[in-house]
Structure 1
Amino acid sequence: MAIPAHYDALSTLELALLELKEERNWAAYEALRKRDREEVFKAAVQLLRSSSARERALGADLLVQATGYDEEARLERGARSADVLLAALPTEQDASVLRAMGHTLGYIADARAVPALRALKDHLDSRVRLGVASGLSQHQDPVALQTLIELSRDGHASVREEAISALSLKDEDAVDSPELREAFLDRLSDEVTDIRTDSLIGLARRKDPRVREPLRRELERRPVAIEAIEAARYLEDVSFLPLLLAVREAARPMDDAFEGAIDFAIECLGGRAP
C-alpha cells in the first residue's frame, strides 16, 4: 500500500490520531509502524494523558510498538512502558482503556503488573476482566495462575476463553496442580468449542487420564477442531490412532493446516497417514 508523501510531514502523534480518526486507514497505520520507537513512546505517553478514552486506549496500544516486537527489545524497553501504564492504571475508569492497558501489560510481561491486574479481576465490565486475563497470560507465579483459574469460570465467554487459552499454553513440567487440572475439567462441557478444546490440550499435556472420554467425544464431532487433534498428540495414547485415521478419512478434502496437524499426530502415535 502506497503511503501518501505528505504523511512524512506529520508528527507521530498526528499520524496516530489520523489512524484513529479514519478507521481502516491502513496507509496511516503503515506509516506509523515505520516511525522511530522513541517518537512513538512520546506520542503514546501524550495520548494516555488525553481526556478522550479512545485516545488513551490508543496510547496503551502504541506502547507495544514503542517497546518493540522482539524479545531483546521487550527486555530493554518494556520496563519503561510498564512504568507508564502502572502509573495510569489506578485512576483509569474507562473499561475500553483498562482492557487496552491489560493487553499491553500482557505483552510486556512485567511482574509488577500482576498485583495491579489482580485487583481488577472482579470488575463489573467483562472488557476489563478480559484485559486482566490477557495481562496475566505470560506470567507463571502463583497469584497470576490463581487469577487465571478464577477467570476461567467467568460468566463471559471471551474472558473464559482468554484465561483457559493462557493456562493451556503453560509448560506442563513447570506448571501443574490439582487446581489447574480441575479448572480444565470444569470447562470440558463448555458451550464454546475453543474453550473445550483448549481444556483438552491442558489435560492431555499433563497426561491426565480423565481426558480420554471427553477427547473421544470431541474427535467424534463434525467438524473436528484442530485443537482436538493436537490434544490427541499430546496425550500419546496409541488407542486413539484408529480414531485419528477415521477423522482423517472423513475430513477430506481438508486444508493444509488441518492435514499437517492430523498427519503429525498420527505419526507421533506410531501410525502412517494414508
Structure 2
Amino acid sequence: MSTLEEMKRDGRSTAELIAASLAQIDDEDGKRASCNPLAVLEARGTREVFDAAIALSGARDSKSRRLGVTILGQLGSPARTFPEECCDALLKIIHREQDREVLIATVFAFGHLGNRRCEGALIGLRNHSDDDVRHGVAFSLSGATSDAAVGALLELMDDPYERARDWAATSIGQTVSIDGPEIRDALLRRVNDADVFVRAEALHGLARRCQSASKIDPRSAFKIDPHLS
C-alpha cells in the first residue's frame, strides 16, 4: 500500500486531524510521514477540509491561522482540489495578515499552490524587511515568466539573504525559456557568489543556456574566483 493510500484510509475525523496538527505545528523536522495529520488533511482534500482550513485561517490565534494557510496551499496534494478557491482565500489573507509566521506560511503556500494569480501580491513583497518573506517570494515565483515576475526574481538574485538569492537563482536558472543578455549577466554575477548553493544554481542556469545555442564563451562563464572556492 502506498503512503498516499495509507493517508486516504486514515480513519480520524477532520476535527481530530486538526487537533493533532495544531499540537505538531511547531515541529521543525518537516517530515510528511503517513501518520502526519497535516499530510492526511492535505491528501484528503475534501470540501469539509477546505471549509475547516478557511475557518482556521480566520481564527484569533496565529497558530490556527498558520495551519489554515498551510492546508490551503497543498489541499488535495498531489492532485489539487479547489485550487481557485484556495487562491482567492490566500489573496485575501496575505493583504491583512500581520503575524510574521503566518505571513511567511502564506507566501510559501502560494508557491505550493502554483497559481499565477498570486504573482502581483508576491511581487509586492519582494523588498519586505523580513529575510524569510523575501525567501518565500523567490520560492513562490519559481517558474514564473511574466516580465514583472522575472524582474522581481532578478532583484532577488542580488538580495543580501543567501536563501533568497539561492531560490531566485534556481527559479531563473531552471526556466530556460527566459533568456537574453540581462538574464545571463545576472547568472554570471552569481557565479562568484559567497554561497556555494547560489554559485551552483547560477552555473547550472548558464550550462542549460549554453546547451541551447548559448552565445556565452563557457570558459569565461564558469571562471570562479578561487578565493570563494
TM over 0.5: yes
Aligned Cα root-mean-square deviation (Å): 3.0
SS in 1 for 2:83: helix
Partner of 1:63: 72
Contact 2:104 2:133 in 1 (8 A): yes
Give, in whole Å, the separation in 2 of the partners of 1:64 and 1:113: 12
- For the structure 1 residues 34 and 156, does the alpha-carbon distance in structure 2 shift closer, same or farther, using more than 3 Å as the test? closer
Give, in whole Å, the separation in 1 of the partners of 2:158 and 2:27: 37
Structure 1 residue runs of 5 or longer lacking an equivalent are: 223-274
Pairing 1:96–2:101 present:
yes
Give, in whole Å, the separation in 2 of the partners of 1:178 and 1:53: 44
Report runs of 4+ in structure 1 exceeding 4 Å deviation: 21-26
Any residues of structure 2 matched to 1:127-206 within 5 Å, and which?
Answer: 127-171=132-176, 174-206=177-209
Any residues of structure 2 matched to 1:39-118 within 5 Å, and which?
Answer: 39-70=48-79, 73=80, 77-118=82-123
Once the two structures are TM-superposed, the CA of residue 108 in structure 1 deviates from its matched residue by: 2.1
Once the two structures are TM-superposed, the CA of residue 160 in structure 1 deviates from its matched residue by: 0.5
Once the two structures are TM-superposed, the CA of residue 16 in structure 1 deviates from its matched residue by: 2.8
Once the two structures are TM-superposed, the CA of residue 47 in structure 1 deviates from its matched residue by: 1.6
For 1:251-271, what per-residue CA distance to the aligned partner results, in whole angstroms no more than 9, with x for missing partners? xxxxxxxxxxxxxxxxxxxxx
Once the two structures are TM-superposed, the CA of residue 52 in structure 1 deviates from its matched residue by: 2.5
Structure 2 residue runs of 5 or longer lacking an equivalent are: none
Pairing 1:19–2:24 present:
yes
Once the two structures are TM-superposed, the CA of residue 121 in structure 1 deviates from its matched residue by: 0.9
For 1:10-61, what per-residue CA distance to the aligned partner results, in whole angstroms no more than 9, with x for missing partners? 6143243233267779634354455343232122212211223232222221
In structure 2, what residue type is equivalent to 1:8?
A: R
Partner of 1:121: 126
Partner of 2:219: 212
In structure 2, what residue type is equivalent to 1:162?
A: W
Once the two structures are TM-superposed, the CA of residue 109 in structure 1 deviates from its matched residue by: 2.4
TM-score (norm 1): 0.67
Once the two structures are TM-superposed, the CA of residue 98 in structure 1 deviates from its matched residue by: 2.0
SS in 2 for 1:112: helix
TM-score (norm 2): 0.79
Larger % of helix: which?
1
Give, in whole Å, the separation in 2 of the partners of 1:128 and 1:64: 16
In structure 2, what residue type is equivalent to 1:64?
A: G
- For the structure 1 residues 141 and 22, does the alpha-carbon distance in structure 2 shift closer, same or farther, using more than 3 Å as the test? closer
Give, in whole Å, the separation in 1 of the partners of 2:76 and 2:40: 17
In structure 2, what residue type is equivalent to 1:37?
A: T
- For the structure 1 residues 130 and 177, does the alpha-carbon distance in structure 2 shift closer, same or farther, using more than 3 Å as the test? same
- For the structure 1 residues 112 and 163, does the alpha-carbon distance in structure 2 shift closer, same or farther, using more than 3 Å as the test? same
Give, in whole Å, the separation in 1 of the partners of 2:95 and 2:42: 29
Give, in whole Å, the separation in 2 of the partners of 1:154 and 1:216: 22
Give, in whole Å, the separation in 2 of the partners of 1:36 and 1:175: 34
Contact 1:121 1:129 in 2 (8 A): yes
Aligned length: 212
Contact 2:145 2:178 in 1 (8 A): yes
Give, in whole Å, the separation in 1 of the partners of 2:28 and 2:140: 25
Partner of 1:37: 46
Contact 2:157 2:169 in 1 (8 A): yes
SS in 2 for 1:87: helix
Once the two structures are TM-superposed, the CA of residue 213 in structure 1 deviates from its matched residue by: 4.1
Pairing 1:8–2:12 present:
yes
